[in-house]
Structure 1
């Protein structure tokens, strides 16, 4: 929540937002009080202790009788859909995935390639180019004139004309592709780098002397996969000279879990690699969601990342999926992608802590920093049995004070929540469509939902690119913020803090 202290008022004035300060002070006086949830059960693990919130504050807020019909749009009054751009061209039959941003452009990943949109008018996104380059999941990021694309399915070769293959075939290819996007209408494929177990996701870490590093996350090894052998307790690091990207090369595969990580035999999935890493370069920190473990990593030396703390939740987290820092780098929101994103897990049966977020405070200094569990957050609405729904990709909303996040929940829609009080997160806005089908579970919904330069952009698996506008005093200061480039897994310091 925005600060209303004298110190906060002075900070608002320092940004030239005196009127905003007055509005914040007046509205905070009428803001409703929210009861805090209790904690009534703690489970001690060999890595950490997790307390399970209980009490009526976490009761799900809608009944099955209130479920929307097929494709029926519902939202809170303060969050409105202002544009939808259906998938087109070669991407029309593919699954939409992640999004990156640069200037007036959005780069939409898709299992069949990627699409570049001109979003100079957020109410009318315009396709600039559609690149056909099949390979799941085509996680995308941009840096200057370069675009990076993850391939996490075995292909016959590294070209964009490749066909599907098998990971049991040594000659199959998976890894990173690099494109020149200096001409947005004609992106040019320039380089590939093969990595162990492919590249499910990747994270850009800026370096020095004109270099950028790509941290590649991959998992699911097998004795039958020549290029993906167990144990796979590592990430891959690619070094890219930005002026000569054709010289990009794999430089190391640091092992993050020398003890093997979380073993089999409990609720959580075995740690065998990482699913997603989020770097906060200004803080020289990275948070990793690594299937069975959550980690905090020192990246002061980007070629030699060091794990400084690890947490585990064997009661409520099945699959540590992604991580998001708050803007001061003092908290991490981890997500649990229970069921891999294909199951209906926003039901009464799953309750408020399965397939949810885990909110952790970072306490201590230096190598003594630790992740301390504070609470869970899950959307407070029941979804139907035909809607795949679970926590997924989101980003910080860059308000000057407080902690607000927007997040995709597949067919659970989009949720904006305030976690300024780490122990009492609460939703402040939401948007959702009804199911794609009311008779069978068809995978769809919001894959990634991110705040960029005053609007929320969301890549819907089936429906295409959505643009939403939030009108709420709590996000007013975020609308003054502008960044030139945004890869959410490379978290910027929006206000230079």
Structure 2
């Protein structure tokens, strides 16, 4: 049984009460700033068109530095925020004063979340003693250890109810939703880099691991959810990697880190360690590769992917250093640990991914700040391709890639270094736009609510969503 902690009146400090605000006007499309321009410890800096509305700190069992905040999903007036200790439900009907509705204590990294109707899906990618919310850590070599997907009923958000678990090979690092045609939801489970190599003693998750798990969930009967397919995506083994020491290495493909579906287009983008992939998912149980690209010169680890709304571009991210190192500095340069923008040229089975440019935040970070391209979403402006994106301690960047050869930043927010060393991990894990506001799940600071006030993004406020899972992209203008 999940442990639910309810606090109805929790609120963050309002923007006006912040005493460490630093407005920095440089950095809007300018060259990287010098170290003298880096905000001090815990100071806040932002572009003039960005505003921190409020912050809700981590609380209870989620407050520890080791309890990392992770991904976000949205439904109606609620935001659902993952944490390595479970998940939090926020009432965001008043974005200036979010309230914690409930906290579900259910340990198991990363606890990425998504929602569909009355169901919430939670990823567990750490070896646990069992599938309960009272589980403890267990060696991956133990054949009784558990990893996979947990399903909760959220029809009562004040008391989410754990209803089902599905064990998957190699656990679930992340997951992605794809609606079926008969009232079911498919959950694509991504896991990678088997914890025990082929010469080890682990019973599961052995190399080669070139597949995903596909779970079919009848939305009205979630208890019947089960793995229905384990398609091998890379029968040739995928990118073999270059064998250099990590983090400089181009990683060998051994599973996918992140998949993003675009249901209205029957497309999926895959960030699969050493490969960037475009898939056809018209048959949900048998994804078909349309094209694969590699960048062994500049990309280390293909981490996540975002379509533009017309689905003729994909932004791939490179999580150089695994998110735990300082890569936003002159030493690393502008092309590593960055985004790569690809145009989709051609249609159907003849479509090809064509590289156009890189994008990286144009501000220097301290050597004590873990910074690299991470999770983001579109800001829906018709006729434009604009994205908000988390960069860990690099902060949050709003940038325009309408001209895929010439991306440019139009707004940003960041805090100075969280600590005096790279440990513990800090910064914005996920930064997403939802119904007029930017919501950021900061690993250490909690939930940030921000607002961009700019003529280039103002029209997005007219777009209202009833539900948003960023890794299942909607057509905002259909």
Q: Does 2:185 align with 1:201?
A: no
Q: What corresponds to 1:154 in structure 2?
A: 127
Deviation string for 1:333-366 (max 9, x for gaps)? 0000000000000011001011000000001111
**TM-align CA RMSD:** 1.1
Q: What corresponds to 1:19 in structure 2?
A: none
Q: Does 2:109 align with 1:109?
A: no
Q: What corresponds to 1:180 in structure 2?
A: 153
CA contact (8 A) 2:325 2:422 kept: no
Q: Does 2:136 align with 1:163?
A: yes
Q: What corresponds to 1:50 in structure 2?
A: none
Q: Identify the match of residue 384 of structure 1 among 330, 354, 366.
A: 366
Q: What corresponds to 2:53 in structure 1?
A: 82
CA contact (8 A) 1:387 1:442 kept: no
CA contact (8 A) 2:369 2:421 kept: no
Determine which structure has the larger helix proportion and give its number.
Answer: 1
TM-score normalised per structure 1:
0.87
Q: What corresponds to 2:470 in structure 1?
A: 488
SS of the aligned residue for 1:220 comes to: coil
CA contact (8 A) 1:317 1:338 kept: yes
| Deviation of the 1:68 alpha carbon | 0.8
SS of the aligned residue for 1:477 comes to: helix
Aligned length: 440
- Correspondences of 1:397-408 after superposition (within 5 Å): 397-408=379-390
SS of the aligned residue for 1:213 comes to: strand
| Deviation of the 1:442 alpha carbon | 3.3
- Correspondences of 1:283-322 after superposition (within 5 Å): 283-322=265-304
CA contact (8 A) 2:29 2:409 kept: no
Partner Cα separation in structure 2 for residue 137 and residue 59 of structure 1:
35
Q: What corresponds to 2:187 in structure 1?
A: 214
| Deviation of the 1:441 alpha carbon | 4.4
| Deviation of the 1:452 alpha carbon | 0.2
SS of the aligned residue for 1:90 comes to: helix
Q: Does 2:394 align with 1:412?
A: yes
Deviation string for 1:353-396 (max 9, x for gaps)? 11000000001111010110000000000000000000000000
Relative to structure 1, is the Cα distance of residues 440 and 240 closer, same or farther in structure 2, using a 3 angstrom cutoff?
A: closer
Deviation string for 1:418-445 (max 9, x for gaps)? 0000000000000000001235543100
Q: Does 2:253 align with 1:280?
A: no
| Deviation of the 1:176 alpha carbon | 0.3
Deviation string for 1:316-344 (max 9, x for gaps)? 00000000000010000000000000000
SS of the aligned residue for 2:157 comes to: coil
Post-superposition, which runs of at least 4 consecutive aligned residues in structure 1 deviate over 6 A? none
Q: What corresponds to 2:240 in structure 1?
A: 263
Partner Cα separation in structure 2 for residue 317 and residue 441 of structure 1:
24
CA contact (8 A) 2:324 2:425 kept: yes
Q: Identify the match of residue 241 of structure 1 among 198, 206, 218.
A: 218
Partner Cα separation in structure 1 for residue 421 and residue 353 of structure 2:
42
TM-score normalised per structure 2:
0.91
Q: Identify the match of residue 68 of structure 1 among 39, 50, 54.
A: 39
| Deviation of the 1:60 alpha carbon | 3.6
Q: What corresponds to 1:47 in structure 2?
A: none
SS of the aligned residue for 2:393 comes to: coil
Q: What corresponds to 2:246 in structure 1?
A: none
Q: What corresponds to 2:69 in structure 1?
A: 96
Partner Cα separation in structure 2 for residue 440 and residue 453 of structure 1:
34
Partner Cα separation in structure 1 for residue 308 and residue 425 of structure 2:
30
Unpaired segments ≥5 residues, structure 2: 1-27, 244-248
Q: Does 2:235 align with 1:253?
A: no
Deviation string for 1:127-160 (max 9, x for gaps)? 0000000000000000000000000000000000
CA contact (8 A) 2:152 2:160 kept: yes
Partner Cα separation in structure 2 for residue 220 and residue 172 of structure 1:
17
Q: Does 2:294 align with 1:331?
A: no
Relative to structure 1, is the Cα distance of residues 59 and 99 closer, same or farther in structure 2, using a 3 angstrom cutoff?
A: same
CA contact (8 A) 1:326 1:396 kept: yes
| Deviation of the 1:58 alpha carbon | 8.8
CA contact (8 A) 1:407 1:415 kept: yes
Unpaired segments ≥5 residues, structure 1: 1-56
